[in-house]
Amino acid sequence: MLHGCRHVTYDGQGYVYWKNQHVEHYNHPTNPEMAEQTIELNRRCKILETRKQPINTTSAVWLWDESGKGDKWEIAFYECKASKQAQTAAKRICESYNISGICDPAYIANVIQAEIEA
């Protein structure tokens, strides 16, 4: 485990792996300054796994596509616990009121879900 990321490991040459799949190389992988990059790499690999896309250096680093081929909602609702109905309502609210923050849709969906369950 590297920088608290369960699936991220490294070897003696600095090669970094996600679930035993080579994804990156750091000269000093255990340096605390590499923690932020490692956490981001872990996030990207989780998203690639969710998308059922190959996980390697090319997909996770060189050609990383945050949007998921144009679908910003996949990223906005990644790991959101709210129901699909709450997510759909949040998406409509964001589109209607031109809300563009990446965290806002999941926050709105979670508020809607909490109100439904109250």
Residue range 88-96: mean pLDDT, rounded: 94
Report the pLDDT value the prediction gives residue 69, as an integer from 0 to 100.
Answer: 58
> Has residue 71 got a pLDDT over 70?
no
User: Rounded to the nearest 5°, which phi and psi values hold at 46?
Assistant: -60, -45
- pLDDT value, residue 6: 92
Task: Give backbone dihedrals phi and psi of 5, rounded to 5 degrees, phi first.
Answer: -95, 110
